[in-house]
Amino acid sequence: MHRRHLRSFAIPCLAVVLSATAGRAGAQTAAPPAAPTAPAAPAPAAPAAPAPAATAPPQTPPRRSPWRLGTELAFTDISGNRQLQLFQSTVTIARQMPETFNFDLKLEGRYGESNHQEAARSAAAHTRLDWTPRALVSPFLSLDFEYDHVRLIDARVSGGVGVNLNLSYRDPTRATVALGLIEEYVDYAAATVPNQVNDTRLHARLAFVQVLRPGVQIEINGRYQPATARLWDYLLKVDGAMRVALTTKLAWRTAYTWNRDSTPPAGVRPDDRTLTTGLLIQWW
């Protein structure tokens, strides 16, 4: 009796113990939960391709200033109305813009003595404006002033207009023929009769420049100005020069000038001849 009751009590207890043991063993054999994974590190970025180097613009030489300034110091030997040796100075200012216009201003002065007496004292200014000098035909404007104590000229002022026929205006040869009309006023020394003269003159000019080789060039200029009312009353000037470059700013220049006034004042010879040689300094 007691055994039957003990068996009926022990069997359920044993079932409970076995089920609990089986549950514990199952828990131990079960795979452990996966550990949380750290987020993957981002892949390193590929290095950026180097930017192409910027192409430098081509170097262009600085534009040369259109202005020119030159001075000339010269020794002169004159024969004609006076026999003397003297010094002469010339200043030249120019603006060279062949596509638009050229402007030239030339100032001259000379002084000399012979046997302790004043033998030369003169000054001159020449201004010229040429429009579009590279065109075949181009207009010009000129204004000149002259003072010469030996030739008894207290003041000679002339100005006029005309046209240039530019036969050639590119190196190595430049050739120009000019035709125009000028108005002239002359004030002679007090003892001269007549003392003042006004004239209208025709103007013809030839200019020629030839580059023989780099740094060496020759120039020839001729000017003929007859009075419209008296064609036998004329002014003629012819000059030739050679310039040889010594450095970029220094040149040696030799020039010969023949100046003729067909109707000079009494006591003055019609012809003057001048040989000039000296240094030419081109400041810019």
Rounded Cα gap, residues 43 and 280, in angstroms: 78
Give domain status of residue 96, yes or no. Answer: yes
Average pLDDT over residues 184-205: 90
Give domain status of residue 38, yes or no. Answer: no
- pLDDT of 177: 96
Give domain status of residue 240, yes or no. Answer: yes
Give domain status of residue 9, yes or no. Answer: no
Rounded Cα gap, residues 262 and 51, in angstroms: 81
Give domain status of residue 210, yes or no. Answer: yes
Q: Estimate to the nearest angstrom the gap between the alpha carbon of 177 and the chain centroid.
A: 25
Strands 234-245 and 84-97 turn out to be unpaired
Give yes or no for a contact between 188 and 151, defined as CB atoms under 8 angstroms apart.
no
Q: Per-residue confidence at 191, pLDDT binned at 50, 70, 90?
A: confident
The count of domains in the chain is: 1
Give domain status of residue 111, yes or no. Answer: yes
Give domain status of residue 3, yes or no. Answer: no
User: For the chain, how far is it from start to end, CA to CA, in angstroms?
Assistant: 146
Write the pLDDT tens digit of every residue in 122-164.
Answer: 999 999 999 998 899 999 999 999 999 989 999 999 999 999 9
- pLDDT of 275: 87
**pLDDT at residue 15 tops 80:** no
pTM of the model: 0.72
Give domain status of residue 54, yes or no. Answer: no
Coil vs helix vs strand at 13: helix
Rounded Cα gap, residues 216 and 203, in angstroms: 30
pLDDT cut 90: percent of the chain above it:
51
Identify the CATH number of the domain in which residue 142 sits. 2.40.160.40
Domain containing 230 equals: 67-282
